[in-house]
A and B are shown apart, each in its own frame.
Chain A
C-alpha cells in the first residue's frame, strides 16, 4: 500500500486530537484564556451541553488584544459561531485537503452523533505523517550539517 492509500484508509479519529480545551457557553474571555494558558492550548471549543456552539482561538485574541475590556466579555460575543467541522470517520487524506483549502488552524472533530471528540490541527497531521518516516525525520542530528561524512567505528 503506498502512502496515499494509507492516508485514505486512516480515519481522523485515530490521530491525536487533544490540542484544545472545552469551555461552557457564557464563560468570560478571561476564564477561557486562563484555561487555555493552563493547559498550553491555543484553541477553545465553546459548548452548550453536548452541542458545539463556537470556537475561539489565539487568532481571535490577537484581534481582541487592542480592546481594553476584551477580557470581561462573554465568550459568546467573540467566538466564531457554527465553525466548520469534520467527521471523525473522514480519512486523513480528506482532512489534509480540507486543512489546506480552508484558512482554519483548528477543525472540531465530531462523531456520528454530532458530539465533539477532538480538534484537528496541522501539527497532529504533520506528526502523523512524520511517524511514517522516522528514519528521515526523527533520527537526524541536531543540526543538518552535523553528520559524519563516513561511518566511523560502526
Chain B
C-alpha cells in the first residue's frame, strides 16, 4: 500500500525562482508573473507536476522566473513541445507562455493546430502588439498603419485578433484579460487552469519600451470602466462607469444602448460562455473601439474530449485487439533501402568554411525611446525606499506563545498582527487576527494549549528597508497581503507595514 501524505501547503514564495528577472523595468510581463505566482498555490498542484513551456521572445523568458519545471524552447514551437509532453505525461499541468509574435506569426501554424486538437494545455499569449526582444518591429497584431522599425511608413497589413483566431481554430476555452487588471487576471488564469482541454488566454500586455500605452483605454483607472465590458456567464452585458449602458442585438448586429427610458436589462444580450456554437463568442470577439467596449473575461468555455485522452484510449484499444507490438517488426514492415555512395553527400573536411566569410556589418542603432509619464508626487514616492516611511515597530512573540497570551497582547495593544521570531530573533512566522477567526470558526477553542506556532503563516513574505515603497503596494494591492514585515539584513523584523499604516502615509501626503 502506498502511504498517502498530505501535500504541504505551498505559498506564493514557493513559486518564485532565484533568477534575476531580465525584463525592462516597468514591463507588463512583471504583473502577469506576479498573478501567476499568486494563483499557483491555490491550484493545489505539487511543484514537480507543473511545467512552463515557452518559445522565443520577451514573454518566453517566463519559465526562468517560476520555480517549477520549465522549457525555453524553439521559436513558435512551444505548443508542439507541450503537446508531446502532455501526451507522454498526462498527469502534468502544462502551461505554454507565448507572445503575439511567437504564437501568431512564427508559431501561427502550431497554434492553430494545438487549439483544434484540444490538448489539455493552458496557453497564455502576452499581446503587446510589437516585437520587443528584437527591438520594435511590427507584429501580426500591430494595428494597420502602425509605424515601427520595420514599417517606417506604417504597416500595410491587416492584423490578427487573437480571440477571433482562437475561436476560428475551434478552441474550447477562450478568454482575455489585461496585465494591470490584477484581480481579473488572477481570476481568468484560475479558470484557464481549471478547464479540461486547451485554454487560450490573451493578455493585453504593455511593452513600455517599444509600444507604450497600447492598452491604456482598457487599463487606465479613470477610463477602463467605460471602455471595457466584463463578461459574466448568464449575465446581461452591462458596462460603463455608472453601469448605465449595455449591448443589444439588432438583427444580426450588436449595438450599444443607453439604459433607462424604456430600455431595461431585459433587452440586452445575455452572455452564454457554454453555448455549443462559436457564434456568440465570435461576435463578442469583434467588439472594440471606437464604437464598442472591449470585452474582457471568458468568451467561450465548452467541454470536448481531450486529445491525449482519446489517443491513450486508442492505444489501449489497439493493445486489447492486437496485443503488444514489436518495434523491430514495425521497422522492417515497409520498404527499407541502402543509400548509394554517390548520393551527393559531402564529407565534412571538404565543405566550404563559412565562418571566415565576411558578413555585411549591420549599422548600430539605439532605439529612440519616448517615454512620457506624468510624474506626480505620489509616483516619485513609489520609487523611494521603505526606510523613509515612519512605520510602527512590530510586536514579536515566540512560537510557543499560547493563543490566550497572544490574544491578550493583541487586545492590550490593539494590534491586528503579531510577528513570530525564532531564538535568534529572526522572523519565522506571522500571526494575524484572521488566524484567530478561522480557529474560532472551526470551533477549536482551546486557547491555553494551542500555540501561535501552530496557527501562524510560516516564512512570510518580507521586504527590506531598502526596497522601494512601490513594492509594499505591489504586495498589498497586487497580492492581497495585509501585513508586510520589514526586516534587516539578518532577517530580524524592524517594522511592520499594514494596509492601515500605508494608507495613513498616503493620506498625509495628499492632505
Contact = CB atoms under 8 A, between A and B. Distances in A.
B410 A140 contact: no
Interface string B431-447: 00110111111010101
A148 B382 contact: no
A146 B64 CA distance: 12
A148 B499 contact: no
Contact of B507 (A42, A99, A128): A99
Given A122-B503, A135-B373, A148 B410 contact: no
A33 B510 contact: no
Interface string B10-47: 00000010011111111111110110010000000000
B221 A146 contact: no
Interface residues of A, number: 60
Contacts of B26: 135-136, 139
Contacts of A2: 376-377
A146 B434 contact: no
A39 interface: no
Nearest to B376: A3
Contact of A136 (B407, B414, B470): B470
B91 interface: no
A142 B34 contact: yes
A135 B26 CA distance: 5
A144 B467 contact: yes
B507 A133 contact: no
A11 B99 CA distance: 38
B482 interface: yes
B180 A96 contact: no
B102 interface: no
A66 B245 CA distance: 51
Contacts of B349: none
B474 A4 contact: no
B40 to A, nearest CB: 12
A153 B133 CA distance: 6
A65 B442 CA distance: 12
Interface size classification for chain B: 35 or more
B478 interface: yes
B502 A126 contact: yes
A117 interface: no
A70 interface: yes
A133 B478 contact: no
Contacts of A136: 26, 379, 382-383, 468, 470
Interface string B469-511: 0110110111010100000000000000001101110111011
In the A-B complex, list the 8 residue pairs whose CB atoms are closest, starting with the nearest: A130-B477, A122-B499, A144-B467, A138-B31, A136-B382, A134-B180, A141-B21, A131-B221
Interface of A: 2-4, 6-7, 14, 33-34, 36-37, 42, 58-59, 61-66, 68, 70-71, 93, 96-97, 99-100, 103, 105, 121-123, 125-148, 151-154
Interface of B: 16, 19-31, 33-34, 37, 58, 65, 132-135, 179-180, 182-183, 206, 208-210, 219, 221-222, 225, 241, 373, 376-379, 382-383, 403-404, 407, 410-411, 414, 416, 433-434, 436-441, 443, 445, 447, 463-464, 466-468, 470-471, 473-474, 476-478, 480, 482, 499-500, 502-504, 506-508, 510-511
